[in-house]
Chain A
């Protein structure tokens, strides 16, 4: 199925992104550009995920 490979790879990448130990790198009460590092980390990853989904969903075929 076309697009299956990239979807699986991205799935693995984002699962890692939102789990330890990766999320632990931002899990501290410090700010980045005035925003808590954890929130920057989560929302940046989330935005990237939405962008990736938009691209992948266009490429998926039977």
Chain B
């Protein structure tokens, strides 16, 4: 294998130049991150920065893995790609929860979700550091290996023994500059993100370039490489899962499973994907761009691995193929570029991981320890220094691990140890997000069992391989128990060692998590934490109001000055803006005079302050700081504030109910008032002493007084009864005893007039049955009395009519006899004078007979004999019957039949009587010699219309008004019953009669008869 094509100092100079360039990019990114965001480029920076998932382990290690184990390593990239379909749901939820609670790491999340005890964070931190340091060492070792390859063995490099140290130092400086400018990690780290995103682009471009060179510069394309591999009896197995060394399929599945967790939970991934997510919509971009990135960077891994094998390079040196092949092909430039690509991948990972792990160590181990040892001092600078020191310690640990431990291990093995370790937090994190029963005991049991299995099945074999232990345990198991051989636990032979470790660690982890959670009832605090986590909504970074309380800090009335002081003490001036907003808000509320609201907000302050501090000093330290400030225990304080809030809620509900009821009562009052107002009768309410307290509009109308005139006056004002005093006593006594009184009274109006009214009084009783007043209703009887008077008159008239009818009936028969006798007498007489006298008597008797008949017609019951008639014929018959009369008077009478049907169901005899009566009146009214009477008949709209007009002298209006009155007549002869009879007969037919007349202009009498007055079958009385 070629080695040392460049001098060590030259390569080191190039590295230095690259790192300085990276520093410059980071600096620019830091300063111009707002401009980047304004252009919408931050989403791509976010995704490419997440490309730190592909480290030198991908760059070198995956090729080595492909050279020995085939395509199974692709599971590490397929897993995240498939599960990216769910990122919008669970990754977004994680982002929301972490943003709402200022969470900056997985241990912080565990503390917030399972909280209550401060040890879950430190334990998780230790485990993550143990699991992640090998991974950092892997990157440094990759730099070392590639440096050895390109600059020659260490022995030939003089002073430049190992580049790991200077590189580690530079990366430490980079991390300090860009990763720990602020104690608050929730602030955007634009410089770090930009530098890492650029490195992701650099490494993928270089990797693809190297792949193209291998495929098309060294070989004749993919077909050439794959064809030769597939034709090789051993190597062809690498192109399958089932035949690849070990159990390719179980390894493939194991890689998929752990990658699903690790792509989010690896400290560097959590830092980029969750903590540094500036906008949750970026997740949508990550969903497709990140898998595309993974796909692209893996396109040439297998061709390069197979190319190396075909070139005769040893499979055990597969980690170095990507660098060895260009060197072997004599392509110095590409070799150097590839070296820089690997270097880029390694540095990006070390930078982000050291920042994330350093902050995790600081928040969960160092800062709580410092604050425990020394309280109440201005700790910000010390805390910032502690965070920076922690980052350097992480890099130092990686460096030490790389130099001491992993020299005998290939890169892939180191990477897998870390991957499987981090995956052990998967069940607790994702279970905690979605499972309400998930509890602290379950989480700790699961993580402990998972890590124990991880150590036993993966770390122990690695230690044996590195020579720290004898190999007997791998062959015969501890104490010779074959079932406990770490790589074949419980005798499962067929499974790949990685598959074995992943299966057992995650199986025991999930089992412990579920069992521990089921067997221990979640505490109220855990239940509340789950609820608050699930209430986390979207939105920009910390707007404390509306987010769930993250921790145990409870209620205590801290002054605003205390709050400002404590935040400045522990978070410097980084949090001036946030705390300033809170303080301003409370002061505003106080200014508005809402003291109670201000107190409630202020009682909430410790929780809000804890949240603000969490971003800077971590969950544990923030809790401790606030606990020291609160006189109550945190649990008591929380209970107190929750009880207070419940009380507030209840009071709010009661107030709401009262307001609602009040509204209902007012609505009913308005309704009742409206009812009373709309009553036409006068309603007056009185107190128990008889004073008027309320009146309605009807009362105002009735008494002709304004409301104000009556209110407060004695009831005496309204009644002017001659026996008032006595009546009032009766009314009062009766109302009081029986509850009501009803009777007639004489009311007094304002103008001095009086009127009869019906008074109804009732006692008003309150809810305890005690009388509190009276309500009186006055009904005006003026109209009723008038009607009663009219009815009395009518009754008198009716009696008179009946008497007249009886008299007429009795007279009619003797009159008939007289008339008959006078005729016989006249026939006997010969003397002309005597005959004339008898004739006069006979005419007088005839007139009397007419009067008697009219009287009878008017008073007696009439039964109509209805039948179908042509009304025009009836009219002609009536006119014809009077012909002698009108001819004698020299009056011209005509009958005109107009358009329309004139047939109707009528009593023909009665209608003829009606027309005869009217025409006779008209003829008598018409002037002799020049009189004209016209009868018009027409049919229209279901009625037959008849109009009799004359050119007589007409009537005055006062005469016209009386035309239908009985016994009213302007003629010398007649009793005035003709027109009343006409009206009665027409109305019996269901018709109508109208008279229009004007003095000197004649008269028109109009009749309107329905064609079918009582339905189709007719009928009548």
Chain A residues with CB under 8 Å of chain B are: 1, 3-4, 7-8, 10-11, 14-15, 18-20, 23-24, 27-31, 34-36, 38-39, 42-43, 46-47, 49-50, 52-54, 56-58, 60, 62
B85 and A53 contacting across the interface, CB-CB below 8 Å = yes
In the complex, what's the smallest C-beta–C-beta distance from A59 to chain B, in angstroms?
Answer: 10
B-side contacts of A11, CB under 8 Å = 82-83, 85-86
A57 lies within 8 A of B288 (CB): yes
Whether A18 lies near B256 (C-beta < 8 A) is yes
3 smallest beta-carbon distances between A and B, as pairs: A34-B223, A36-B239, A53-B288
**A31 with B226, Cβ < 8 A, contacts A20-B249, A53-B85 known:** yes
Closest to A49 in B: B81
**Interface residues in B, total, Cβ within 8 A:** 37
> Which of A1, A27, A34, A52 is B241 in contact with, Cβ under 8 Å?
A27
In whole angstroms, how far apart are the Cα atoms of A20 and B82 in the complex? 15
B287 touches A57 (CB 8 A): yes
In B38-79, which residues have CB < 8 Å from any A CB? 71, 74, 78
Residues of A within 8 A of B222 (CB): 34-35
Is the beta-carbon distance between A7 and B78 smaller than 8 angstroms? no
CB distance from A21 to the nearest CB of B (A): 11
Report whether B291 and A49 are in contact in the complex, using a CB–CB cutoff of 8 Å: yes
List of B residues within 8 angstroms of A29 by Cβ: 230, 236-237, 239-240, 243
Interface residue? B284 (CB, 8 A)? yes
Interface residues of B (CB under 8 A from A): 71, 74, 78, 81-86, 88-89, 222-223, 226-227, 229-230, 236-237, 239-243, 249, 253, 256, 284-285, 287-288, 291-292, 295, 299, 302, 538
Question: Out of B84, B249, B302, which one reaches A39, CB within 8 Å?
Answer: B302
A49 to B378, CA, bound (A): 53
Contacts of B89 in A (CB 8 A): 1, 4, 7
CB distance from A53 to the nearest CB of B (A): 4
B230 engages A30 (CB within 8 Å)? yes
C-alpha spacing A19/B89, complex, angstroms? 23
Q: With A29-B243, A47-B295 known to touch, is A42 a contact of B74 (CB < 8 Å)?
A: yes
Among B78, B82, B84, B249, the one with the most A-chain Cβ atoms within 10 Å of its Cβ is B82
Q: Return chain B residues, CB-CB under 8 Å to A38.
A: 71, 239-241
Cβ-closest chain B residue relative to A30: B230
Residues of the A chain whose Cβ atoms lie less than 8 Å from the Cβ of B256: 18
Residues in A with CB closer than 8 Å to B85 are 7-8, 10-11, 14, 52-53, 56
Query: Which of B78, B292, B538 lies in contact with A42, CB distance below 8 A?
Result: B78
Given contacts A7-B88, A35-B223, contact A56 B240 (CB under 8 A): no
Give Cα A58 to B233, complex, Å: 47
Q: Is the interface of A mostly helix, strand, loop or mixed?
A: helix
Alpha-carbon gap, A42 to B82, bound state (A):
12
Which residues from B are CB-within-8-Å of A31? 226-227, 230
Residue pairs across A and B with Cβ atoms less than 8 A apart, 10 shown, are: A1-B89, A18-B82, A34-B222, A35-B222, A36-B239, A42-B74, A53-B81, A57-B284, A57-B288, A58-B284
Which B residues are in CB contact (< 8 Å) with A43? 295, 299
Bound-state CA distance A29–B229 (Å) is 9
B846 CB to closest chain A CB (Å) equals 107
- B226 lies within 8 A of A46 (CB): no
Chain A's closest residue to B292 (CB) is A50
Q: Which residue of B lies closest to A58 (CB)?
A: B284
Q: Which of B227, B241, B295 contacts A50 (CB 8 A)?
A: B295
B321–chain A nearest beta-carbon distance, Å: 17
Q: Measured between alpha carbons, how far is A28 from B248 in the docked complex, in Å?
A: 12
User: 19 new A-B pairs (CB below 8 Å) besides A34-B227, A36-B240?
Assistant: A11-B86, A19-B253, A27-B241, A27-B242, A27-B249, A29-B230, A29-B239, A29-B240, A36-B239, A38-B240, A39-B239, A42-B78, A43-B295, A46-B291, A46-B295, A47-B295, A53-B85, A53-B287, A57-B88
A10 — which chain B residues lie within 8 A by C-beta? Answer: 85
Please give me the residue from chain A that is nearest to B88 by CB atom: A60
Chain A residues positioned under 8 Å from B295 (CB to CB): 43, 46-47, 50
The distance from the CB of B228 to the nearest CB of chain A, in whole angstroms, is: 11
- Contact A23 B241, beta carbon cutoff 8 Å: yes
Contact present for B230 and A7 (CB under 8 Å): no
- Across the interface, do B237 and A36 meet the contact criterion of CB distance under 8 Å? no
Closest chain-B Cβ to A4's Cβ sits at a distance in Å of: 7
Q: List B contacts of A27 (CB < 8 A).
A: 240-242, 249
Taking CB atoms, residues of chain B closer than 8 Å to A56 are: 85, 287
Q: Which residues of A contact B291 (CB under 8 A)?
A: 46, 49-50, 53
Cα–Cα, bound, A4→B93 (Å): 14
Q: Which chain A residue shows the least CB distance to B243?
A: A29
* Complex: A30 Cα to B230 Cα, angstroms: 7
Residue of A10, A15, A28, A57 with highest tally of chain B CB at under 10 A: A57
A50 to B237, alpha carbons, bound, how many Å? 28
Residues from chain B with a CB closer than 8 A to the CB of A4 are 89
Q: In the complex, what distance in Å separates the CA atom of A30 from the CA atom of B256?
A: 24
Contact B82 A49 (CB under 8 A): yes
Q: How far is the CB of B94 from chain A (nearest CB, A)?
A: 16
Which residues on B sit within 8 Å (CB–CB) of A60?
A: 88, 284
- A18 to B83 CA separation, bound complex (whole angstroms): 12
A43–B284 Cα distance when bound, in Å, is 22
Cβ of B88: which chain A residues have Cβ within 8 Å of it?
A: 3, 7, 57, 60
Residue of B nearest to A23 (CB): B241
Complex Cα distance A35/B226, Å?
A: 6
CB-CB under 8 A from A47, the residues of chain B are 295
A24 to B248 alpha-carbon distance, docked (Å): 12
- Bound-state CA distance A10–B768 (Å) is 73
Contacts of B285 in A (CB 8 A): 57
A57: chain B residues at CB < 8 Å are: 88, 284-285, 287-288
Interface centre among A10, A42, A53 (most CB of B within 10 A): A53
Distance from B345 Cβ to chain A, minimum over Cβ atoms (Å)? 21
A29 to chain B, nearest CB (A): 4
Residue of A nearest to B287 (CB): A57
Contact partners of A50 in chain B: CB under 8 A: 81, 288, 291-292, 295
Residues B242 and A14 in contact, CB atoms below 8 Å apart:
no
